[in-house]
């Protein structure tokens, strides 16, 4: 099946710094990627939809200036958490819409655990 | 609000037993999907069932869908310790943008 990777798998940073997370589709081109965050024992909450070559669509309540998304190519989307604070600590997961699936199936990355001290 | 809600929140069984998890949702769906997540890892797609389907099988997994009750169930037969994970249902709303909405998940522990 299709493979989606994320880098880094975990990151610890100081409050106030910015952190960039990469999401790559390794063996297919993904015109649409999604970014989710997940708190412990909670559901995945969609943050934004990332479209190649255009601006991301953010869900209500998600600060677009705080969570910068760039989808510069068909295989790479990045999420930058700017001026991170402890409340941004979470598990961030990306997914990519599978090709030829009529948009029904997504492949998920392994996630990035962010801890802001 | 979340579209899908799983029940129970946690399930603990012995290896070899069957595990049944339920998912209820609120609005009309295009399809419903079940995912598995090992602790601290990404999600793995298990099964997709469309609104006009009532039952699907994949190996030891059996998914049913009752659109009149707006509910779905995931049955894992002859469970194994390796089935220990969280299981999420995700609904894709009819007429929407094909973005699934996830429930809170059921945490399954299978004791060897």
pLDDT digits (tens, 9 = 90+) for A23-47: 999 988 888 899 999 988 888 999 9
CA gap A19, A12 in Å, rounded:
9
- Residues on chain B touching A41 (C-beta within 8 angstroms): 104-105, 107
Q: Which of A43, A45, A106 sits opposite B105 (nearest CB)?
A: A43
CA gap B108, A38 in Å, rounded:
18
For residue A31, give the DSSP letter: S
3-state secondary structure of B22: strand
Give mean pLDDT, residues B16-30. 94
Q: Which of residues 23-52 of B touch A (CB under 8 A)?
A: 31, 33, 35, 40-45, 48
Asked if A50 reaches chain B (Cβ–Cβ under 8 Å), the answer is: no
Closest CA to B87 of B50, B111, B61: B61
Asked if A105 reaches chain B (Cβ–Cβ under 8 Å), the answer is: yes
* B65-111 per-position pLDDT tens digit: 999 999 999 999 999 999 999 999 999 887 767 788 898 899 999 99
Taking residue A47's Cβ as centre, other Cβ atoms within 10 Å add up to: 24
Q: A15: distance to nearest CA of chain B, Å?
A: 23
Higher-confidence residue: A51 or A91? A91
For residue A88, give the DSSP letter: G
At residue B36, the pLDDT reads: 95
Q: Are A71 and A51 in contact (CB under 8 A)?
A: yes
And the tokens for B82? 């390796």
Q: A104: distance to nearest CA of chain B, Å?
A: 6
């Amino acid at each position: 099946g299709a493979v989606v990777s994320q880098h880094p798998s975990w990151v610890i940073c100081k409050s106030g710094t910015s952190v960039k997370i990469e999401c790559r589709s390794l063996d297919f081109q993904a015109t649409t990627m999604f970014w989710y965050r997940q708190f412990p024992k909670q559901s995945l909450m969609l943050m934004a939809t990332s479209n190649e070559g255009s601006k991301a669509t953010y869900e209500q309540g998600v600060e677009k200036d705080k969570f910068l998304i760039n989808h510069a190519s068909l295989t790479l989307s990045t999420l930058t958490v700017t001026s991170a604070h402890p409340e941004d600590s979470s598990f961030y997961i990306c997914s990519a819409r599978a090709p030829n699936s009529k948009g029904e199936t997504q492949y998920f990355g392994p996630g990035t655990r962010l801890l802001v001290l | 609000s979340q579209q899908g809600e799983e029940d129970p929140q946690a399930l603990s069984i012995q290896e070899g037993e069957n595990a049944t998890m339920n998912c209820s949702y609120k609005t009309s769906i295009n399809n419903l999907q079940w995912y598995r997540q090992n602790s601290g890892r990404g999600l793995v797609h298990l099964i997709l069932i469309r609104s006009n389907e009532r039952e699907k099988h994949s190996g030891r997994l059996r998914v049913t869908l009752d659109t009149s009750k707006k509910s779905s169930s995931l049955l894992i037969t002859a469970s194994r310790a390796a089935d220990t994970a969280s299981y999420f249902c995700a609904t894709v709303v009819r007429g929407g943008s094909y973005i699934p909405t996830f429930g809170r998940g059921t945490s399954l522990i299978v004791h060897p």
